Amino acid sequence: MNKFKQIYQILYRAYGPQYWWPCSTKEKKFEMVIGAILTQNTSWKNVEKAIENLKNNKLINPDKLIKVNIAKLKKLIKPAGYYNQKAERLKLMARFLKENKNITREKLLGIKGIGPETADSILLYALKQPYFVIDAYTKRIFKRLGFIDSDNYNELQNLFTKNLDINVKLFNEYHALIVKLGKEICTKIPACKKCPLDFICKHNI
């Protein structure tokens, strides 16, 4: 068994399934897309406040989001920060989804303000396509483990893809487990003694 699969099994045994993003309806899928954009450079708690504001105004809908006044949209998503840029990106994304039935990674990356992490989050969680999401938690944890020494997104994504079965459910669960570990244990000042990966981690060596 390779190290990437071993890490997944250890984390899964320690924390169990995370049940991230069960997108069963069009509205849920669009909510996930909105979340992927709003979470750029902010915490999920702030995103939840912004999404709740959008829900209360019945804006979890591409048609309505396209039509809503931009000033109103900025005010509603203000809790997520960078609301000027994010309001523009949400409208661009809503138009894109209305105009494109065949959504590809290349097309998503062509939208202003949509980088690889956001695009892959949309592809994996909303569209159920097997793209492994690389975020700050992934980089921090796997650098400390001694598995990687690069910050290049595509290089890191290729490492996971080459060492794992190409499977949407696996990629979803693995990323969710990484985020849980990064938020609760492997923080900027890590609680190594509580970490299920401590026995194979090189951070304290």
pLDDT, tens digit (0-9, with 9 covering 90-100), for 42-91: 988 999 999 999 999 999 999 999 999 999 999 999 999 999 999 999 99
Please state the rounded mean pLDDT for residues 116-140: 96
Domain boundary among the residues 126, 152, 175 is at 126
Does the residue 150 lie in any domain? yes
Kindly tell me if the per-residue pLDDT of 23 is higher than 70. Answer: no
- pLDDT at res. 24: 61
For residue 153, what are its two tokens? 């997104």
Same structural domain, 101 and 157 = no
Confidence label for 96 from pLDDT (cuts 50, 70 and 90): very high
Same structural domain, 83 and 151 = no
Kindly tell me if the per-residue pLDDT of 22 is higher than 70. Answer: no
Sequence letter at residue 13: R
Q: Which CATH number covers residue 146? A: 1.10.1670.10
Sequence letter at residue 51: I
- pLDDT at res. 1: 74
Kindly tell me if the per-residue pLDDT of 117 is higher than 90. Answer: yes
Q: What is the pLDDT of residues 7-19, one digit of tens each?
A: 999 999 999 999 8
- pLDDT at res. 150: 85
For residue 194, what are its two tokens? 């509580």
CB 72: neighbour CB atoms within 10 A? 12
Does the residue 205 lie in any domain? no
Enter the DSSP assignment of 68. S
CA–CA gap between residue 128 and residue 32 (Å, rounded): 12
Q: What is the dihedral of CA 199, 163, 158, 114, to 10 degrees?
A: -80
- pLDDT at res. 98: 93
Question: Residue 155, SS3?
Answer: helix
CB 144: neighbour CB atoms within 10 A? 18
As a whole number, the mean pLDDT across the chain is 94
CB 45: neighbour CB atoms within 10 A? 9
Max intra-chain CA distance, the chain: 56
Same structural domain, 147 and 55 = no
Same structural domain, 76 and 103 = yes
Q: What is the pLDDT of residues 143-180, one digit of tens each?
A: 999 988 888 999 999 999 999 999 999 999 999 999 99
Kindly tell me if the per-residue pLDDT of 204 is higher than 80. Answer: no
Please state the rounded mean pLDDT for residues 98-113: 95
Q: Which domain holds residue 135?
A: 3-20+131-200
Domain boundary among the residues 72, 98, 126 is at 126
